[in-house]
Structure 1
Amino acid sequence: MDVIVRPTARLSGEIQALSSKNYTTRYLLVAALAEGTSTIYYPAHSEDSDAMRRCIRDLGAVIEEDQEKIVITGFGKKPSDVRELNVGNAGAVLRFLMSVAALSPEIKFVNTYPESLGKRPHDDLIEALQQMGAEVEHQSGKLPITIRKKAFQGGKIRVSGSVSSQYLSSLLFITPLLEEDSEIEVLHDLKSKVVVGQTLEVLEQAGIHIEASSDLMHFKIPGRQSYQAKEYTVQGDYPGSAAILAAAAVVESDVTVYRLEEHSKQGERAVVDVLKAMGVDLTHQNGVVHVRGGKPMKAGEFDGDEFTDGVLAMVAASVFAEGTSRFYNVENLRYKECDRITDYLNELRKAGARVEERQSEIIVHGRPEGIEGGVEINAHFDHRVIMSLTVAGLRAKQPIRIKDAQHVAKSYPQYFDHLKALGADVEWIEQ
C-alpha cells in the first residue's frame, strides 16, 4: 500500500514510545539460549521482532504471550534440528542466528526479500564462522546461506567491524556457549559501537561474563558458560521515536513522547541532543520528551555513527533548517535495507530538498521556506526511509505519495497511526 502525506500545519498530543526493537530481539535470543523460563515485559511487535519470535520457535523455544509480556522456555545449547529458517527482511535477526545455526547439523536461511535483504552482504561474518570451523554455503556472501556445524569451536577469532557491528554481536552471543575460551579481535574500524554496548548490556543481564577492551576492539570470552533464565523489561525505542520527534520539530507542535529513558544506552538517544543543537524547543526529563516545534532551526555538523538509525530522521529535519548541515561518518548506512545515502537522497531531491552525498557523508542545504512536494517517491522497501520521507512531506507545499509504505511495519507498525493521532494529514491508498 502507498501513503499520501499532505502538508500539516500543527501536531499536538501525547504518545507512548514504541518498545525497543533492538532490545526486544536481543532479549528474545538470550531467553531462547537459556535453559529454563524467562519473561520479557513490554516486548516490541514489529516485523523484525516477530521474525526473531518465529525463528526461535522453529529452533525449539516454547513461547507464550499476552498483551503485557512474553514467556519463553529456551532450548539452551541444543536447538531443534530444523532445515530452514525464514528471517523475512530482518538483517539483524539473520546475522544473530547465523552463529546460533552453527550449533545445528545444517540450517538454510532462505531468501524471501531478494530486492532488499537479499542484496545485503554478510561476508565478514561468514569468514569469522569459517575460522571457527563452520561450513558455509552462500551466494557471494548473500542469501540463501546454508550453515553446517562440522567442527565448530571457539578460539582466536578475527572479524571486520567496518560494515556492521551485527557480525561482532552475533559472535558475542554464541562464543560463551562453546567448550573453548575465545578471543575476538575486531579488524579495521568498528561501526555503531553504541549498539555493541547494548549487546554487552543484555549479555551481562543474562549472566554472561565477557571482558571487553575500552575501545571495544578486543574481547575475551570464557567458554562453557550458560545463559540464565531471567525477567527483562524492554525500554522505549529511540530509533522509531526519532521520526516522531523530527516531525514535531519541523511543524508547529506541542508533542509529548513517554518512555524514553534519559540514560539509555541506545545510541539514538543522541537525536534529542541533535534537535536541541538545531534550536528545537525540547525538554527531556523523567523519561518524557516534550517538543514545542515550528520555530526556526539552524544547521549543524553531527557524527552520524553515534545515532545510526536516527540519522535519516535528523536529515529530514535539517532539510528545513537555516544553513548547511553535515552528517559525517555514516558510510554504514549504505549497507542497510537499501543504500540509505544514495537511495534516500535521490527521493528527497524529487520532493525538492537540496542535498548532496559523499561516500560517508550527507550534506543538506536547508530550505526553511519548505519544499515543493507534489511527487510520487520510492522508499525502497526501507522502514527508516519511509518514516523520514514522511517527515519531509509534512512541510511540502504539495502532497507526496510514498510507495509501498506498509514496510514501515518492519520496526514501527503503528507509525502512521501515531502521526494521525497527533494531527498529521496522512492517508493509506490501495495500489
Structure 2
Amino acid sequence: MDVIVTPTPRLQGEIQALSSKNYTTRYLLVAALAEGTSTIYYPAHSEDSDAMRRCIRDLGATIEEDDEKIVITGFGRNPSDVKELDVGNAGAVLRFLMAIAALSPEVTFINRYPDSLGKRPHDDLIDALGQLGVEVQHREGKLPITIRGGKPRGGKITVSGSVSSQFLSALLFLTPLLEEDSEIEVLHDLKSKVVVGQTLEVLEQAGIVIEASEDLMHYRVAGRQRYEAKKYIVQGDYPGSAAILAAAAVTNSDIIVHRLEEKSKQGERAIIDVLRAMEVPLTHENGIVRVQGNGKLKALEFDGDKATDAVLAMVAAAVFAEGTSRFYDVENLRFKECDRITDYLNELRKAGANVEERRDEIIVHGRPEGVEGGVEINAHYDHRVIMALTVVGLRAKEPIRIRDAHHVAKSYPIFFDHLRALGANIEWVE
C-alpha cells in the first residue's frame, strides 16, 4: 500500500517510543541459545523481530508471549534439524542465524525478497564460516544460502568489517559455544562499532565472557561456555524515534517521546546531539525527550558511522536547514535494504531537495523555504527510507505519495499511527 503525506504545519502530543529492534533481536537469540527459560519484557514487534521469533521457534525454542513479555525456553547449542529458514527481509537476523546454523547438519535460507535482501552481499561472513570448517553453498554471496555445518571448529578467525558489523556479531554469538577457544581479528575497517558494543553488552548480560581490544578489532573467546537463562528489559528505540524527532524539528511542534534513555549505548542516540547542533529547541531528561520545533534549523557536519540507522532522518531534517550539511563515513548505507545513498537521494531530488552524493558522503544544500513535493516517490522497500521521506513530505509545499509504504513494518509497524496521533496529515491508499 502507498501513503499520501500532506504538508502538516504543526505536530503536538505525546507518544511512547517503540521498543528497540536491535536489542530485541539480540535478546531473542541469546535466550534461544540458553539451556533454560528466559523472560524478555517489552519486546519490539516488527517484521525483523518477528522473523527472529519465527526462526528460533523453527530451530527448537519454545515461546510463550503476552502483552508485556515473551518467555523463551532455549535449545542451547543443539538446534533442531530444520531444512529451511525464512528470515523475511531481515539482514541482521539472516547473518546472526547463518552462524548459529553452523551447529546444524544442513540449513537453507530461502530468498523471499530478491529485490531487497536478496541483493545484499554476505561474502565476508561466508569466508569466516569457512575458516570454522563450515561448508556454505551460495549464489555469489547472496541468497539462497545453504549452511552445511554440524561440527564447526574454533581457532583463529579473520573477518572483514568494512561492509557490516553484523558479520562480526554473528561470530561473537557462535564462538562461545564451540569446543575450542577462538581468536577473532577484524580486517580492514569496522563499520558501526557502536552496534558491536550492543552485541557485547547483551552477551555479557547473558553470562558470556569475551575479551575485546579497546579498538574492537581483536577478540579472545573461550570455548565451552553456556548462555545463562536470564530476565531482560528492552529499552526504547532510538533509530525509529529519530524520524519522529526529525519530523518535530522541521515543523512547528511540541511533542514528547517517552522511554529514550539518556545513557543508552544505541549509537542513534546521537539524533539528540545532532538536533541540538542544528539549534532545534529540545530537552532530554529522565528518559523523556521534548521537542518544541519552530521549523528553523542550522546546517552541520556529522560522522554518520556513529549512528547508521538515524542518518536518513538526519538528512531529511538537513533538507530544510540553513546552509550546507555533510554526512560522512556513510558508505555502509549502500549495503542495506537498498542503496541508502543513491536510491534515497534520487527520491529526495524528485521531491525538490538539493542533495549530492560521494562514495561515502551525503551533501545537503538546505532549502529553508521548503521543497515543492507534489510527486510520487519510490521507497525501494526500505523502512528507513519510508520514514525519512515522510519527514520531508510533512514540510513540502504539495503532498507526496510514497509507494509501498507498508514496508515500514520491518521496524516500526505503527510509525504512521504515531505521526497521525501527533497531528500529521497522512492517508493510506491502495
Query: Normalized against structure 2, the TM-score is what?
Result: 1.00
CA distance in 2, matches of 1:195, 1:172: 13
CA distance in 1, matches of 2:143, 2:296: 46
Match of 1:156 in 2: 156
Match of 2:277 in 1: 277
CA distance in 1, matches of 2:152, 2:252: 57
1:227-242 superposed matches below 5 A:
227-242=227-242
CA apart distance, 1:295:
4.1
Match of 2:167 in 1: 167
CA distance in 2, matches of 1:315, 1:406: 22
CA distance in 2, matches of 1:174, 1:425: 46
Deviation by residue 1:349-389 (Cα, 9 ceiling, x = unmatched): 00000000000000000000000000000000000000000
CA distance in 1, matches of 2:289, 2:356: 31
CA distance in 2, matches of 1:416, 1:17: 13
Match of 2:138 in 1: 138
Match of 1:298 in 2: 298
Match of 1:204 in 2: 204
Match of 1:428 in 2: 428
CA distance in 1, matches of 2:161, 2:247: 32
Deviation by residue 1:160-189 (Cα, 9 ceiling, x = unmatched): 000000000000000000000000000001
**Does residue 340 of structure 2 align to residue 340 of structure 1?**
yes
Match of 2:327 in 1: 327
For 2:36, the aligned partner's letter is G
**Structure 1 unaligned spans of 5+:** none
Match of 1:259 in 2: 259
The answer on whether the counterparts of 1:160 and 1:190 sit within 8 Å (CA) in structure 2 is yes
CA distance in 2, matches of 1:394, 1:46: 24
CA distance in 1, matches of 2:9, 2:152: 59
1:14-413 superposed matches below 5 A:
14-149=14-149, 151-413=151-413
For 1:13, the aligned partner's letter is G
CA apart distance, 1:321:
0.2
CA distance in 2, matches of 1:221, 1:19: 30
CA distance in 2, matches of 1:224, 1:384: 39
The answer on whether the counterparts of 1:102 and 1:147 sit within 8 Å (CA) in structure 2 is yes
For 2:307, the aligned partner's letter is F
CA distance in 2, matches of 1:113, 1:5: 26
CA apart distance, 1:294:
1.8
Q: Is the partner of 1:147 in helix, strand or coil?
A: strand
For 2:91, the aligned partner's letter is G
Deviation by residue 1:185-210 (Cα, 9 ceiling, x = unmatched): 00001000000000000000000000
CA distance in 1, matches of 2:149, 2:274: 45
For 1:386, the aligned partner's letter is I
Q: Is the partner of 1:416 in helix, strand or coil?
A: helix
CA distance in 2, matches of 1:58, 1:117: 21
The answer on whether the counterparts of 1:17 and 1:237 sit within 8 Å (CA) in structure 2 is yes
Q: Is the partner of 2:364 in helix, strand or coil?
A: strand
For 1:138, the aligned partner's letter is H
After TM superposition, which residue ranges in structure 1, 4 or more long, deviate above 6 angstroms? none
Deviation by residue 1:66-97 (Cα, 9 ceiling, x = unmatched): 00000000000000000000000000000000
Deviation by residue 1:291-338 (Cα, 9 ceiling, x = unmatched): 001242100000000100000000000000000000000000000000
The answer on whether the counterparts of 1:40 and 1:234 sit within 8 Å (CA) in structure 2 is yes
Q: Is the partner of 1:364 in helix, strand or coil?
A: strand
For 2:55, the aligned partner's letter is C
The answer on whether the counterparts of 1:39 and 1:72 sit within 8 Å (CA) in structure 2 is yes
The answer on whether the counterparts of 1:177 and 1:225 sit within 8 Å (CA) in structure 2 is yes
For 1:383, the aligned partner's letter is H
Over the aligned positions, Cα root-mean-square deviation in angstroms equals: 0.5
- Among the aligned pairs, what percent are the same residue? 80
For 2:393, the aligned partner's letter is G
CA distance in 1, matches of 2:79, 2:364: 48
CA apart distance, 1:287:
0.3
The answer on whether the counterparts of 2:104 and 2:150 sit within 8 Å (CA) in structure 1 is no
CA distance in 2, matches of 1:405, 1:80: 36
CA distance in 1, matches of 2:261, 2:64: 28
CA apart distance, 1:65:
0.1
Q: Is the partner of 1:348 in helix, strand or coil?
A: helix
The answer on whether the counterparts of 1:133 and 1:150 sit within 8 Å (CA) in structure 2 is no
For 2:412, the aligned partner's letter is Y
